[in-house]
A and B are shown apart, each in its own frame.
Chain A
Amino acid sequence: MSSVSATAASPVRGPAGFKRPATATVYRWELRKLVSQKRTYLGLGLAMILPLIFVVVQSLRTRQDRGGENIFASQITHSGLATPVLMLLFLSVFMLPLIAALVAGDIVAAEDGNGTLKTILTRSVDRGQLFAAKAFAAMTYATIAVFAAAVVATAAGVAAWGFNSVTTYSGTVVSASEGLLLVFASNACYLIPLFAVASLGVLLSTVTRNSAAAVVGTVGITILLFIIGQIPGLEGIRPYLLTEQYENWHGLLRTPTDWAPIAHSAWVSALYAVPALIAGYLVFLRRDVAGG
């Protein structure tokens, strides 16, 4: 081992004066940490590979009957813009919440387990700033995953079947450019309940201090809510289940636009997200940091 210098330049000393970093700075470093971890790319890879598989398989199919009940399924070979809509439909139930949970459930617990939480909490950053930065970073990751899937699905769909007009749920034919706008607006709407999933992940990450438990717990909650939504006799609570908000974007694909499900999903999702974030914040402020 090379030795510690006892003769090098004069040690750095003297007060620097207290200056708390901006929360945006802490947030940027949370993103840089995410970018530097291989695990980050696992979720993004999953989000992007599935649309590619879908397009390849559909392109190889010889049967023309791709109909089913969904109007976009029947348009797969007519317009590449049907692909991102179908992929959002498929991925929104399980895969995208899982991807969001992968990072949200890990973002506090991993640092606690590795001991790096105590490293950064002995700097000039307040706990509240750090929690906010981590929550924003988790949501940023969820956003990137959703749009990565959308971009790949759109590109692959258009490459395979063309950039053509598409028929919406209300039977209205919209131009390709308007369809493209609607695709990305739909993905943006889907982020509303997905942020609530991420918030639950951050809460569990903070409370459990265990990445695996937090990720599994978050996914478990969404599965539980999904199952509850399928139980006959519980129709009364179904509109208030988080998993029921995953299809809020369908309102955008109607003419005229039906904003009601989007507005409904916004406040229902907030009912899950806000208490989760407040609880996580309070736990984070008061918790003993002794891990690592």
Chain B
Amino acid sequence: MPGTRATEDAAGSAEAPPVRARGLVKRYKEVLAVDHVDLNVQTGDVYGFLGPNGAGKTTTLRMALGLITPTEGVVDLFGRDPMREGAHALEGVAGFVEAPRFYPYLTGQKNLELLAALDGSGAKERIGEVLQIVELTPRAAHRVGGYSHGMRQRLGIAAALLRRPRLLILDEPATGLDPAGMRDMRSLIRRLADEGITVLLSSHQLPEVQELCDRVAIVDRGRVVYEGALADLRRQGGAGYRLRTTDDARALTIAREQRGIEFPAVGEHGLAFQAEEADVGGLSLALGEAGVGILALTPELATLEDLFFRLTDNDGAGDAGPAHAVAAPTADEARLVETP
């Protein structure tokens, strides 16, 4: 909630966006892991960073946190470059890349005490509170070596919260969790976002992104193929309709003759087509005039999964790139990049 935003006096710049990446490139010898990635995470975003495994998401997040050096380009967190300013650039920033890692021979409590000591700023006093938030208080005195994967994920969130972050960077936070754990992790992230924490969430779990995120970047083979509002992406990704009539064959003929009705086809569940809303009205009138009764007319937005596979070309559908599959978003900030 914008109204609950934390004060910005500790930030590098009050106006600077939480994450701003320009032309990020990471090359490992012959492998181009990240290819000129631009990211714009705005204050208050729950920003999904989507892509198949190996698309370059984690490498990008590592660069954002200053763990690895970009081959080219720059990434700023609240206007500060982690490569130049080191730990200072991570002020107000927390999270983890890949699975959160802890010292297995220390208890959960001791791990947090260690991290709190490295954070300073009274973080130690918040340990009990963050353990309570992730419901690890009963296991705090146990060694992390005996924790389940889900418990370590939750301890990772607790460790991040110790820093009182304004930006939370989470890399696949629900990976490896059981369905209940996934649901609860999403609830927690949603709640943190509602408290005013900007979230940059890397994931390949589309339902998670669809449920949590308002803006997304979709990355494929190291390149951003879409960045913008999730709603714009879904709207632009082919708003379709499904029509059941008293005579689907005749309706198909009429639809083909109507202006603005695209890709009409008869399937198992009636007639499907794509059209603008105004053109659907024209089709309804034409059907009525022709004596074809409309039993049901339902809009069908493309799912994120549909769009994701179109953009990342992961359905093996051929060489039609994302620019062919999805029209450019209308939102000013939305950006569509041609795949090579």
With A18-B10, A32-B114 as known contacts, state yes or no: A5 contacts B88, CB within 8 Å.
Answer: no
A1-38 vs B, CB cutoff 8 Å, 1 = contact: the mask equals 11111101111111111111100011011001100111
How far is B119's CA from A40's CA once the two chains are assembled, in angstroms?
Answer: 26
**Which residue in A10, A26, A33, A126 is a CB contact (below 8 Å) of B103?**
A33
Is there an interface contact between B119 and A123, defined as CB atoms closer than 8 Å?
yes
Is there an interface contact between B67 and A121, defined as CB atoms closer than 8 Å?
yes
A181 sits at the interface (CB 8 A): no
**Which residue in B101, B161, B178 is a CB contact (below 8 Å) of A292?**
B101
**Which residue in B101, B118, B197 is a CB contact (below 8 Å) of A13?**
B197
How far is B262's CA from A55's CA once the two chains are assembled, in angstroms?
Answer: 95
**Which residue in B101, B134, B166 is a CB contact (below 8 Å) of A119?**
B101
Interface residues in B55-80 (C-beta closer than 8 Å to A) = 62, 65-69
Interface residues in B149-171 (C-beta closer than 8 Å to A) = 150-151, 154, 157, 159, 161-166
Is there an interface contact between B192 and A1, defined as CB atoms closer than 8 Å?
no
Is there an interface contact between A1 and B178, defined as CB atoms closer than 8 Å?
yes
**The stretch of A194-202, A261-269, A270-278, A282-290 that contacts the partner chain:** A282-290
Is there an interface contact between B66 and A19, defined as CB atoms closer than 8 Å?
no
Is there an interface contact between B148 and A14, defined as CB atoms closer than 8 Å?
no
Shortest beta-carbon distance, A36 to chain B, in Å?
5
Is there an interface contact between B65 and A11, defined as CB atoms closer than 8 Å?
no
**Which residue in A1, A6, A115 is a CB contact (below 8 Å) of B101?**
A115
Q: Please indicate the chain B residues that have their CB under 8 angstroms from the CB of A116 in the complex.
A: 101-103
Q: Please indicate the chain B residues that have their CB under 8 angstroms from the CB of A124 in the complex.
A: 87, 90-91, 118-121, 163
With A6-B188, A15-B11, A33-B106 as known contacts, state yes or no: A122 contacts B90, CB within 8 Å.
Answer: yes
Interface residues on A, range: 35 or more
Is there an interface contact between A36 and B135, defined as CB atoms closer than 8 Å?
no
How far is B88's CA from A18's CA once the two chains are assembled, in angstroms?
Answer: 7
A125 sits at the interface (CB 8 A): yes
Q: Please indicate the chain B residues that have their CB under 8 angstroms from the CB of A123 in the complex.
A: 87, 90, 115, 118-119, 163
Interface residues in A121-167 (C-beta closer than 8 Å to B) = 121-127
A118 sits at the interface (CB 8 A): yes
A114 sits at the interface (CB 8 A): yes
A120 sits at the interface (CB 8 A): yes
Is there an interface contact between A29 and B68, defined as CB atoms closer than 8 Å?
no
Identity of the chain B residue whose Cβ is nearest the Cβ of A19 in the assembled complex:
B120
**Which residue in B96, B97, B130 is a CB contact (below 8 Å) of A12?**
B130
Is there an interface contact between A13 and B68, defined as CB atoms closer than 8 Å?
no
Interface residues on B, range: 35 or more
Identity of the chain A residue whose Cβ is nearest the Cβ of B177 in the assembled complex:
A1
How far is B176's CA from A1's CA once the two chains are assembled, in angstroms?
Answer: 12
Q: Please indicate the chain B residues that have their CB under 8 angstroms from the CB of A33 in the complex.
A: 103, 106, 114
How far is B88's CA from A127's CA once the two chains are assembled, in angstroms?
Answer: 11
**Which residue in A16, A125, A290 is a CB contact (below 8 Å) of B118?**
A125
How far is B93's CA from A18's CA once the two chains are assembled, in angstroms?
Answer: 11
B187 sits at the interface (CB 8 A): yes
How far is B158's CA from A11's CA once the two chains are assembled, in angstroms?
Answer: 10
How far is B184's CA from A8's CA once the two chains are assembled, in angstroms?
Answer: 12
Q: Please indicate the chain B residues that have their CB under 8 angstroms from the CB of A17 in the complex.
A: 9-10, 91, 121
With A9-B133, A289-B67 as known contacts, state yes or no: A119 contacts B100, CB within 8 Å.
Answer: yes
Is there an interface contact between A20 and B98, defined as CB atoms closer than 8 Å?
no
Q: Please indicate the chain A residues that have their CB under 8 angstroms from the CB of B67 in the complex.
A: 118, 121-122, 288-290
Identity of the chain B residue whose Cβ is nearest the Cβ of A33 in the assembled complex:
B103
Is there an interface contact between B95 and A29, defined as CB atoms closer than 8 Å?
no
Is there an interface contact between B135 and A4, defined as CB atoms closer than 8 Å?
yes
With A21-B119, A29-B118, A119-B101 as known contacts, state yes or no: A4 contacts B161, CB within 8 Å.
Answer: no
Q: Please indicate the chain B residues that have their CB under 8 angstroms from the CB of A4 in the complex.
A: 134-135, 154, 157, 181, 184-185, 187-188
Is there an interface contact between B184 and A12, defined as CB atoms closer than 8 Å?
no
Shortest beta-carbon distance, B118 to chain A, in Å?
4
Is there an interface contact between B117 and A29, defined as CB atoms closer than 8 Å?
yes
Task: Report, nearest first, the 10 A-B pairs whose CB atoms are least far apart.
Answer: A15-B10, A115-B101, A6-B187, A4-B184, A288-B68, A16-B121, A3-B184, A123-B118, A19-B120, A18-B91
Can you report 10 residue pairs joining A to B where beta carbons are below 8 Å apart?
A: A4-B134, A16-B164, A18-B91, A21-B119, A21-B120, A37-B105, A115-B99, A116-B101, A118-B62, A289-B62
Residues of A within 8 A of B (CB): 1-6, 8-21, 25-26, 28-29, 32-33, 36-38, 114-116, 118-127, 286, 288-290, 292
Residues of B within 8 A of A (CB): 6-11, 62, 65-69, 86-88, 90-106, 110, 114-115, 117-123, 126, 129-130, 132-135, 148, 150-151, 154, 157, 159, 161-166, 177-178, 180-181, 183-185, 187-188, 190-192, 195-197
